[in-house]
Amino acid sequence: MPHTHHPIGVFDSGIGGLTVAHAISRLLPNEQIIYFGDTAHLPYGDKSKDLIKRYSLEITDFLLHQKRCKCIVIACNTASAAAYEYLRDTHKGNVPIFNVIDPIIESVVADDSIRHVGIIATKTTILSGVYQEKLSRRKPGLKYSALPTPLLAPMIEEGFYNNNISQTVIHNYLEQPELEDIDALILGCTHYVMIKKEINDFYKGKVKLFDSTDIVATKLKDILEKEHLLSENQVGKNLFYVSDYTESFEQSAKAFYGESLALEQQKISSSK
Ligand code: DGL
């Protein structure tokens, strides 16, 4: 049974989910986070749904059974698109499982100033059609345009952001005709939070940007409160696991969480 002092499990293919984990730590400083970056298998964005489901299930098993997490945050749009329903049905009734897509959809459809929203995300997320389907179901009149941007997550994972290379790649994507005339843009990959400033600069602040940091953290807080699962006291140090050690992961994690960060390697069976 989940308990208030148990940790929150958060996972992504790599560093992207750290943006979500960090937003959770800011909003809920008493909570302990156990983070898993599946660096052995990134990028998820060019993998099949079945493979992502398998990786996600193994990570979730590790977080729930070995680390006794009280809930799971899928801090990855690709895994949310490919595996959320599967994970939710597999763990039905045991622990709350959160995806990063629904809170973004809720915020976008609640904003009546938006007429045309763009979506940038990995190939797997765009091809899944999850964003498109949810937007058109929730707000039939809303115009949307989706563009796969497969170079962005690997570029960011390698540490290329806020430099000339990232600027060239970002501009190239944002200049595509699909994104003409948008007044809002969904950053449909948790990695893209790291380039949010560059995207905002491109649009000179004139396009509203939606990402899965604070809105996911707020959603998590609401649900944990309702389920009486919020921790009242500080419970422990955050722990970070990767399926394959990479220096860029360690650097990015330290940039978010400070030098004393504890990073461990944990194989999941498909990376053994
Ligand atoms: N950060 C992930 C997402 O939100 C996945 C990036 C990748 O591994 O391709 O989609």
Residue 80 CA to residue 87 CA, distance in Å, equals 9
Q: Could you tell me if residue 179 is inside a domain?
A: yes
- E strands present in the chain: 8-12, 33-37, 71-74, 97-99, 116-121, 143-148, 184-187, 208-210, 239-242, 263-265
Q: Could you tell me if residue 230 is inside a domain?
A: yes
Q: Tell me how crowded residue 95 is: count the other CB atoms within 10 A of its CB.
A: 21
**pTM as predicted:** 0.95
223 Cα to the center of ligand 1, angstroms: 24
Same domain? 204 vs 139: yes
- Options 76, 146, 155, 187, the catalytic residue: 76
Q: Could you tell me if residue 117 is inside a domain?
A: yes
Q: Could you tell me if residue 2 is inside a domain?
A: no
Q: Are 113 and 81 in contact (CB under 8 A)?
A: no
Same domain? 91 vs 218: yes
Q: What is the DSSP string of 51-81?
A: HHHHHHHHHHHIIIIIS--SEEEE--HHHHH
Same domain? 190 vs 252: no
Domain with 167 in it: what CATH number? Answer: 3.40.50.1860
What mean pLDDT do residues 187-208 have? 97
For the chain, how many structural domains are there in total?
2
Residue 198 has pLDDT above 80, yes or no: yes
Same domain? 218 vs 207: no
Q: Is 76 among the residues known to form the active site?
A: yes
Domain boundary among 175, 193, 212: 212
Q: How confident is the model at residue 37 (pLDDT cuts 50, 70, 90)?
A: very high
Domain boundary among 168, 185, 212: 212
Residue 235 CA to residue 37 CA, distance in Å, equals 22
Residue 272 has pLDDT above 60, yes or no: no
Same domain? 204 vs 233: no
Neighbouring residues of 216: CB distance < 8 A, sequence distance ≥ 6: 20, 23, 24, 73, 75, 98, 100, 103
Q: Are 32 and 238 in contact (CB under 8 A)?
A: yes
Q: Could you tell me if residue 60 is inside a domain?
A: yes
Q: Could you tell me if residue 73 is inside a domain?
A: yes
Residue 21 CA to residue 138 CA, distance in Å, equals 27
Distance (Å) of CA 262 to CA 55, 101, 241, 265: 23, 29, 9, 10
Same domain? 140 vs 71: no
172 Cα to the center of ligand 1, angstroms: 20
Same domain? 78 vs 130: no
Residue 90 has pLDDT above 70, yes or no: yes
Q: Could you tell me if residue 3 is inside a domain?
A: no
Say if ligand 1 is within 6 A of residue 39 CB.
no
Same domain? 95 vs 110: no
201 Cα to the center of ligand 1, angstroms: 22
Q: How confident is the model at residue 259 (pLDDT cuts 50, 70, 90)?
A: low
The continuous run of DSSP H or E covering 102 comes out as helix 101-110
Strands 263-265 and 116-121: unpaired
Minimum-distance ligand 1 atom for the alpha carbon of 46: 9
Same domain? 106 vs 196: yes
Say if ligand 1 is within 6 A of residue 153 CB.
yes
Q: Could you tell me if residue 54 is inside a domain?
A: yes
The number of CA neighbours under 13 Å toward the Cβ of 46 is 9
Q: Which two tokens stand for residue 172?
A: 């190239």
**If DSSP states are collapsed to H, E and C, what string results for 137-179?**
HHCCCCEEEEEECCCHHHHHHCCCCCCHHHHHHHHHHHCCHHH
- Predicted pLDDT at 99: 98
Q: Tell me how crowded residue 22 is: count the other CB atoms within 10 A of its CB.
A: 21
Same domain? 157 vs 259: no
Same domain? 201 vs 229: no
Same domain? 92 vs 222: yes
- Predicted pLDDT at 182: 98
Q: Which two tokens stand for residue 153?
A: 């997550």
Q: What type of residue sits at position 156? A: I
**Residue numbers of the domain that contains 251:** 8-99+214-271
Q: Are 240 and 253 in contact (CB under 8 A)?
A: yes
Per-residue pLDDT of 42-68, as tens digits, reads: 999 999 999 999 999 999 999 999 999
For residue 14, the Cα-to-chain-centroid distance in whole angstroms is 10
